[in-house]
């Protein structure tokens, strides 16, 4: 295997950044489960940082069960690293920021929709919301249909650029929640508010639409906080 060159990182980065750099190195070099990483000394030289920072980065990845460190032997890949897992690592501490940005952009779309959405666009939004509710009555939360709803909501806002930004954030947040396993059922509680938004927009009641949207946001924050706490407790147990 021809190793990809390890890129040095700035000395002012925290050890979390070292963990990210090591994770990226594993992925870029195609290391598989059981493969050995370079020594702490070699990583420190290549990154241009102290061995203590490298050791802390390795420890962080060991706690996440990505690496296994054996005394006198070194660090070995314990879990396969994919592009998605790198994205999760990079965004792990930022999910609240991502969600807040998504919410603010969607609220902008709602305000615009209340002024300029066509009857056809509102009808499409309502139809998808009804589909979400019908599935929810069966105990099903469909990520695909929910994504379609948010796309329709953004279309009502009339900005392709806004749509691209928000959909990218939605996909990133979906990727983040996937790390907790199949937890899609917990979002069922928010389904009825999707139809409330559509109905409010049909009546040009922007304050009601924003209130329903705010409930979804607050619920999402509460759930994500709980999932993150459970994830941390599970790793420490």
Could you read off the pLDDT of 99-113 as tens digits, one per residue? 888 888 899 999 999
Token pair 């900005």: residue:
159
Could you tell me the pLDDT band of residue 128, with boundaries at 50, 70 and 90? very high
- The CATH classification number of 15-81 equals 1.10.10.10
Does position 79 have pLDDT exceeding 80, yes or no?
A: yes
- Alpha-carbon torsion, ordered 92, 93, 94, 96, to 10 deg: 100
Does position 9 have pLDDT exceeding 50, yes or no?
A: no
C-alpha R_g of the chain: 22
- Mean pLDDT, residues 31-38 taken together: 91
- Mean pLDDT, residues 148-175 taken together: 82
The number of beta carbons lying within 10 Å of the beta carbon of residue 53 is: 22
Most confident stretch, 80-89, 185-194, 218-227: 185-194
Does position 19 have pLDDT exceeding 50, yes or no?
A: yes
Residue 194 token pair: 């999707």
Least confident residue range of 18-27, 114-123, 203-212: 18-27
Could you state, in order of their start, the residue ranges of all structural domains in the chain? 15-81, 93-236
| pLDDT for 76 | 95
| pLDDT for 12 | 40
Residue 93 token pair: 């501490």
Least confident residue range of 74-83, 89-98, 226-235: 89-98
| pLDDT for 220 | 86
CB contact at 8 A, 38 and 53: no
Residues of the chain above pLDDT 90, percent = 38
Least confident residue range of 26-40, 47-61, 66-80: 47-61
For 149, half-sphere exposure in the C-beta direction (CA atoms, 13 angstrom radius) is: 24
Looking at per-residue pLDDT, the higher value among 39 and 168 belongs to: 39
CB contact at 8 A, 13 and 24: no
CB contact at 8 A, 168 and 80: no
Beta bridge partners of 228: none
CATH value of 93-236 in 1.10.357.10, 3.40.50.620, 1.20.120.530, 3.40.50.2000: 1.20.120.530
| pLDDT for 11 | 43
Q: What average pLDDT is seen over the chain?
A: 81
- Mean pLDDT, residues 158-163 taken together: 80
SS3 letters across the chain: CCCCCCCCCCCCCCHHHHHHHHHHHHHHCCCCCCCECCCHHHHHHHHCCCHHHHHHHHHHHHHCCCEEEECCCEEEECCCCCHHHHHHHHHHHHHHHHHHHHHHHHHHHHHHHHHHCCHHHHHHHHHHHHHHHHHHHCCCCCHHHHHHHHHHHHHHHCCHHHHHHHHHHHHHHHHHHHCCCCCHHHHHHHHHHHHHHHHHHHCCCHHHHHHHHHHHHHHHHHHHHHHHHHHHHHHHC
């Amino acid at each position: 295997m021809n190793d990809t060159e390890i890129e040095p990182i700035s000395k002012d980065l925290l050890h979390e950044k070292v963990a990210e750099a090591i994770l990226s190195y594993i992925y870029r070099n195609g290391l598989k489960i059981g493969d050995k990483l370079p020594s702490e000394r070699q990583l420190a030289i290549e990154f241009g940082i102290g061995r203590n920072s490298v050791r802390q980065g390795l420890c962080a990845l060991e706690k996440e069960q990505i690496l296994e460190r054996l005394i006198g032997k070194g660090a070995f890949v314990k879990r396969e690293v994919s592009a998605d897992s790198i994205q999760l690592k990079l965004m792990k501490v930022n999910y609240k920021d991502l969600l807040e940005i998504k919410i603010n952009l969607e609220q902008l779309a709602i305000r615009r929709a209340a002024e300029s959405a066509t009857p056809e666009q509102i009808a499409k939004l309502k139809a998808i919301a009804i589909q979400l509710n019908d599935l929810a009555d069966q105990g099903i939360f469909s990520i695909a249909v929910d994504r379609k709803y948010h796309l329709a909501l953004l279309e009502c806002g009339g900005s392709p650029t806004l749509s691209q930004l928000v959909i990218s954030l939605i996909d990133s947040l979906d990727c983040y929640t996937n790390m907790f396993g199949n937890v899609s059922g917990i979002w069922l509680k928010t389904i009825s508010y999707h139809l409330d938004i559509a109905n409010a927009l049909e009546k040009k009641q922007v304050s009601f639409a924003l209130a329903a949207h705010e409930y979804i946001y607050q619920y999402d924050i509460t759930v994500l906080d709980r999932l993150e706490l459970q994830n941390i407790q599970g790793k420490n147990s």
